[in-house]
Amino acid sequence: MSRKTVLFLLIGVVYLVLIAFGLTMVYSVGTPVAVKKPVITSPDNKISIAHTEIFGKLERPQVIFDHKKHEEASKQEGCTTCHPVNDKNKVLFDFPKKIKGKGEKAVMNAFHDQCIECHKKSAQENKKTGPVTCNDCHTKQLAKVGMKYPVVEFDFAYHDKHVKKLKEKIGKDDCGQCHHIYSLEEKKLTYKEGTEESCVYCHDLTAKRGPELTAITKVSAEKGLTIRKASHQQCINCHLEYQKKGDKETGPTECVKCHTGKYKTIVELEKVLRPDRKQKNISYIDVESSRLKGVTFDHKSHQTYAKNCRSCHHETLKACKECHSLTGKPEGNNINVANAYHDVSSGHSCTGCHNQIKAKKECAGCHHLIAPKQATCAVCHSGKKDQINLPKPFSTAGISQDKLKKEVEVKVLEKEFEPSKFPHLDIVNKLVKVSNDSRLATYFHRDIQTLCEGCHHQSTANAEAQKDTPPNCKNCHMTAYDKQNLNKVRLLSAYHRQCLGCHEKMELEKGRKCSECHKAKAGGPAEITRIKNDHVIKQNTTNIINVWRPK
C-alpha cells in the first residue's frame, strides 16, 4: 500500500467520524419545553422583588421581601421609613424613595442603597437587622416562583360597611371621602354629590375607553396612578389616619387582610344595600322616534343580580342613552342604542347578559336548542310606564292527565330492549321548579306552554295538523330515513339527541348510561350476539364485493 492510499483512507475515516459525531449532536439536542412558573397566590405578606419589566433576565435570584417583618421593625417611624410622602403629607406606596438618574443601574442602585443603608444603620444601633451581603437577600430558595396577591374585590358589602362606619365617625354622609372626579378644565380633582363613579373607570389603564375618559386616563397614566397604586394610596392612607387617631376599629394595613382571595357570590350580596346615588327604582326607557314601544326597566332588582355597577355601566355610571343615540355617537363608539341594548355578544347589553344566564346549566337544557321567537319583543317593549307585571308562578296541579301524561313508553328500539319509561310528569315538574326559581324565567316564560316548547320545539302547522298540542315527537320525526331530506333527524336520533343533549347541558348525572333507559330484553339480541360470537357466521357473503370468489 502506498503512502497516498493510507493518507486518503485516514482522511476518509476522519470524515466518517465527524459525520457520525455531527449527527449525534443534531439528534441529541433536546426540544425546548415550556416550563410553567409556579405561582403562589397566598404569599403570606411576602413580596417578590424581581422587576423583570425593567431588568429583563435577572442576574441573581429574585428577593423575597417579608413586608410584615419590616412593618413590625419600623413600627415607631411608620410607613415613611421606607415609603416617600407627597406634598399633602400622604404616603405614596412606592419603593425605593428616590431613584437618582435613569436606566437599569440607577434602579438597582436605589434598591440596594435604601435597603442596605437601613440595615447598616440599625446594626450600628445594635438592633436586630437584615442582611447586607448579596446572597442573604438574593437567596436561591423560591428563585423560580412567581408571587401574586389575589385581587381585592371591593364589593357592595364592603361599600355598605364603609358608608355606615364613616357616617358614625364623621356624623354625616360624605362620599367625597373616597370618591372624586378629575375635572379636565380646572385640571384638578373635584367632588360633587351624585356624580360618584367607580375607581376603575379612570384608574384602570389597561382598558380601552371612549374619548372623554381617555383624556382622563391619560392624566392618570402620566401620574402613574394605576388602579393598584391609586387604591393602595387611597385606602391605606385613610386607614392610617384613623390608626393615628387611636381608632381601634379601623381598616387593615397588612397585605393579606385585604388580599384575602375570598370573594362573595351574587347570592351572598343579594341582601346587602346598594350604594345610593339617587338612582330610580324603575326607569322607563323610551328612545325618541324609535319604532318599538318603551321598556319599563326594573333597575332596583337588576342591581341585585350584579356584583358591581360596572357589569352594565361599563364606562361611566351615566344612563345608556347619554352615549348611545339612535344613530350612534362617537362617545358611544358609534354603537347605536338598539345594539347597546341587544348586542348578543356583549356582557353589558340586556340581551347579551340574559343570554349568558340562559347558557347556565339550569336553563341550557332547553335553551341550547331553541332560537328566540319574534313575539318575545313585546315582553320587554310593553309601553306600560312605571308598571312591571311579574306573572304568577306556574303549577301543574290543575292540568288533566290526558294532556299532561304521567309516563310515556318509548318503543323505538323495541326489538332489542324493553320499552324505555320516560317520566314525563316528573320532568315537567322539575322544569316548572327551575322556571319558578328564577325571576328572569318567570318574567319571560309567561305561559306554562312555553315550558312544553323546551322539548316539543318548533310546533309547525304540519305537526299540529295531527291534533296533538303540543305535537308528539313522531308527528315530525319519522322512523325511517327521509331520502329526500337526509338532514332531517330520525325519530331514533331525535330521542337520543334531545334526552342526552339536555342531560349533558344541565349537567345531570342521571341518564348518561345506556342501561339507565334501556333494559336488556330476555332472549334479545344481546344474548343472541353472545351465542353467534362463538361461531363466526358467514351468511350473506355472496352479495358482498369484498369477498374472494373462486371463478
Partner 1 sequence: MDRRTFLKIFGSGVAGATTGNLLSPGRSFAKGDLSGQEFNGILVDTTRCIGCRRCEKACAEVNGLPIPDISESKNEDVLKEPRNTSDTQYTVITKYETEKGTIFVPKRCMHCNQPGCAAACLVKAMKKRPTGHVTWDSNCIGCRLCMISCPFDIPKFEYNKAMPRIQKCNLCYERFKKGELPGCVEACPTGALMSGSRRQILEEGKRRISDNPDKYVDHIYGEYEVGGTSHLYLSAVPFEQIGFRKDLGTVAYPEYSTGFLFAVPFIFVLWPLAMLGINRATKKSKEDEGHHEEHHNEKGKH
Does 492 help bind partner 1 (rule: CB under 8 A)? yes
Q: From the list 30, 141, 402, 548, which residue makes contact with partner 1 (rule: CB under 8 A)? A: 548
Q: From the list 430, 446, 490, 521, which residue makes contact with partner 1 (rule: CB under 8 A)? A: 490
The minimum distance between CB 525 and partner 1, in angstroms, equals 9
Does 34 help bind partner 1 (rule: CB under 8 A)? no
For residues 397 and 544, which CB has a smaller minimum distance to partner 1 in the complex? 544
For residues 240 and 489, which CB has a smaller minimum distance to partner 1 in the complex? 489
Q: Please give the residues from 457 up to 486 whose contact with partner 1 meets the rule CB under 8 A.
A: 481, 486
In this chain, which stretch among 95-103, 205-213, 299-307, 524-532 interacts with partner 1, using CB under 8 A? Answer: 524-532
For residues 252 and 419, which CB has a smaller minimum distance to partner 1 in the complex? 419
The minimum distance between CB 249 and partner 1, in angstroms, equals 49
Q: From the list 500, 507, 508, 511, which residue makes contact with partner 1 (rule: CB under 8 A)? A: 500
Residue 314's SS3 state is coil
Q: Are 61 and 139 in contact (CB under 8 A)?
A: yes
The minimum distance between CB 503 and partner 1, in angstroms, equals 11
Taking CB atoms within 8 Å and a gap of at least 24, the contacts of 55-64 are 55/104, 55/107, 55/108, 60/134, 60/138, 61/138, 61/139, 61/140, 61/142, 61/143, 62/138, 62/142, 62/143, 63/137, 63/138, 64/139, 64/141, 64/142, 64/147
Backbone angles phi, psi at 170, to 5 degrees: -90, -30
In this chain, which stretch among 43-51, 172-180, 190-198, 511-519 interacts with partner 1, using CB under 8 A? Answer: 511-519
Does 547 help bind partner 1 (rule: CB under 8 A)? yes
The minimum distance between CB 536 and partner 1, in angstroms, equals 5
Residues binding partner 1: number (CB under 8 A) = 34
In this chain, which stretch among 168-176, 245-253, 310-318, 487-495 interacts with partner 1, using CB under 8 A? Answer: 487-495
Does 537 help bind partner 1 (rule: CB under 8 A)? yes
Residue 2, all three cell numbers: 502506498
Does 549 help bind partner 1 (rule: CB under 8 A)? yes
Residue 133, all three cell numbers: 451581603
In this chain, which stretch among 16-24, 157-165, 435-443, 495-503 interacts with partner 1, using CB under 8 A? Answer: 495-503
The minimum distance between CB 355 and partner 1, in angstroms, equals 12
Q: Are 326 and 336 in contact (CB under 8 A)?
A: yes
Q: From the list 51, 329, 424, 496, which residue makes contact with partner 1 (rule: CB under 8 A)? A: 496
Does 541 help bind partner 1 (rule: CB under 8 A)? yes
320 CB contacts (<8 Å, ≥6 apart)?
Answer: 285, 337, 340, 341
CA proximity to 91, closest of 306, 211, 244: 244
For residues 469 and 541, which CB has a smaller minimum distance to partner 1 in the complex? 541
Q: How far apart are CA 97 and CA 111, in angstroms?
A: 9
The minimum distance between CB 404 and partner 1, in angstroms, equals 27
The minimum distance between CB 100 and partner 1, in angstroms, equals 51
Residue 383, all three cell numbers: 309601553
Q: From the list 69, 257, 384, 497, which residue makes contact with partner 1 (rule: CB under 8 A)? A: 497
Task: Centre a 10 Å sphere on the Cβ of residue 223 and count the other Cβ atoms it contains.
Answer: 10
DSSP string, 332-372: GTT--HHHHHH-TT-SSSHHHHHHHHHTSHHHHHHHTTPPP
Task: Centre a 10 Å sphere on the Cβ of residue 217 and count the other Cβ atoms it contains.
Answer: 21
Does 526 help bind partner 1 (rule: CB under 8 A)? yes
For residues 392 and 538, which CB has a smaller minimum distance to partner 1 in the complex? 538
Residue 49, all three cell numbers: 422583588
278 class by beta-carbon count within 10 Å (0-12 exposed, 13-18 middle, 19+ buried): exposed
Residue 202, all three cell numbers: 379612570
Q: Please give the residues from 388 up to 417 whose contact with partner 1 meets the rule CB under 8 A.
A: 413
Residue 28's SS3 state is helix
- Residue 325 sits at the vertex; the CA angle it makes with 320 and 328, to the nearest 5 degrees, is 115
Asked whether the CA dihedral 405, 406, 410, 414 is positive or negative, the reply is negative
Q: From the list 26, 267, 514, 522, which residue makes contact with partner 1 (rule: CB under 8 A)? A: 514
Does 487 help bind partner 1 (rule: CB under 8 A)? yes
For residues 33 and 531, which CB has a smaller minimum distance to partner 1 in the complex? 531
Does 546 help bind partner 1 (rule: CB under 8 A)? yes
Does 33 help bind partner 1 (rule: CB under 8 A)? no
Q: How far apart are CA 455 and CA 383, in angstroms?
A: 32
The minimum distance between CB 296 and partner 1, in angstroms, equals 33
Please name every residue paired with 301 in a beta bridge, in sequence order, or none if there are none. none
Residue ranges in contact with partner 1 by CB under 8 A: 413, 481, 486-487, 489-490, 492-493, 496-497, 500, 513-515, 520, 526, 529-530, 532-533, 536-541, 543-549, 551
